Amino acid sequence: MKKLAFTLSIAATVSLMAVEAPADKNAVAREGLGYIKQLGKELKGNLKKYLKQDPTGLQAAYFCSKSAQDLTKKVNAKFPEGVVVRRTALKLRNPENKVDATDIKVMKEMDAAIKAGSFQKKPVVVETDGKTRVYVPLLTQKACLKCHGPVEKIDPKVAELIKKKYPQDQATGFKEGDLRGVIVAEIPAKKD
């Protein structure tokens, strides 16, 4: 389930970087969080609606397979030129949610922190290729397990839909609290 269960409070995340982080980095982080929240609100609202209609998760899985990418594109169309918000993961379901080396590095660090018990759910800001990326972790919640939990516990109809739509699916076997993936806001460097 690509249920986006983050209750980010901008006020709580203003101090998201190291103490010596420049003010403009915090400003970019806040800007990125704003974009991420817009996508998260759209996806989460739909997922909640479909889970309420069908607790098996089938309607939510169908929504994700049919509409999540289009909804992401629609939300991105509202952003300033060059700004992109996307989802990705170490264990992909949808190959359109491509992962790159920077994504992998950030997620592996997040995952290691979770396993070590030192994880703090906060954005990570990375400068790369003339862009600033703001990463927000997506932690697996109970509702996510309907589509992303252990295969033997996923409703057979949901499992069948996933297999049909995503024959190369890797995004199962999660347990509550695992890093499911990230939402990334990419913001181009400001031109002076």
pLDDT for 30-81, tens place per residue?
Answer: 999 999 999 999 988 888 898 889 888 898 898 888 999 999 999 999 999 9
- CA 149/CA 151 separation, integer angstroms: 6
Burial class (CB in 10 A: 0-12, 13-18, 19+), 185: buried
Digit-coded pLDDT (tens) for 123-154: 999 998 889 999 999 999 998 999 999 999 99
What does pLDDT average to over the chain?
85
Q: At 189, is the pLDDT very low, low, confident or very high (cuts 50, 70, 90)?
A: confident
User: What residue spans define the domains of the chain?
Assistant: 19-188
pLDDT band for position 15 (cuts 50, 70, 90): very low
Q: How far is CA 73 from the centre of its chain?
A: 15
